Amino acid sequence: MRRMHFSHGSREEPEINLIPFIDVLLVILIFLMLTTTYSKFTEMQLRLPVADADAQRNYPKEVIVGVSADGRYSVNKAPLADRSVGAITAALQAAASAAGDSVVIISADATATHQSVITVMEAARRAGLMQITFATQAAAKAGQ
């Protein structure tokens, strides 16, 4: 007969393997991140203006500034060769001097850059023209 010898001298504590537990927690965390909807507290609530074609008025002293999609300018349908603020200011002063206190109507292409519109507004400020409005088109014409 054989006898089995069990050693009683060294007892090792059982180890708990944490790697599967961490894997499960990461999967739960990813699931919660993908399914949770976050409320946007930092987003500003804006009500944008609506353009109505019937509400447009003809101003007796208007200066129309056109801004094309590629950044070219025209003042009262006369194209400007120079795109600088100074050249636009001079053209606005010349167009407004005959009319007195004029209203600047910015007629910008829908794909014109924001900077090109700001350039016209800066030129109008330098020319002393403080009344600025924007030309729009009705929604029905925009789809055509």
Most confident range (mean pLDDT) of 25-34, 48-57, 130-139 is: 25-34
Mean pLDDT for all residues in the chain: 77
Domain residue extents for the chain:
59-139
Residue 44's CB is within 10 A of a number of other CB atoms, namely 5
Tell me the pLDDT tens digit for each residue of 38-84.
655 445 454 545 555 555 555 568 888 888 888 889 888 888 888 89
Residue 124 dihedral angles phi and psi, to the nearest 5°: -65, -40
Band (34; pLDDT cuts 50, 70, 90): confident
The CATH label, of 1.10.340.30, 3.40.50.880, 3.30.420.270, 3.30.565.10, for the domain at 59-139 is 3.30.420.270
The Cα–Cα gap between 5 and 10 comes to 14
Q: Pairing state of beta strands 78-79 and 131-134?
A: unpaired
- Measuring CA to CA, which residue among 76, 144, 87, 97 is closest to residue 119? 87
Contacts of 58 (CB under 8 A, 6+ apart): none
Report the Cα 15 to chain-centroid distance in Å.
57
Residue that wins the pLDDT comparison between 109 and 136: 109
Contacts of 127 (CB under 8 A, 6+ apart): 89, 92, 93, 96
What percent of the chain has pLDDT above 90? Answer: 19
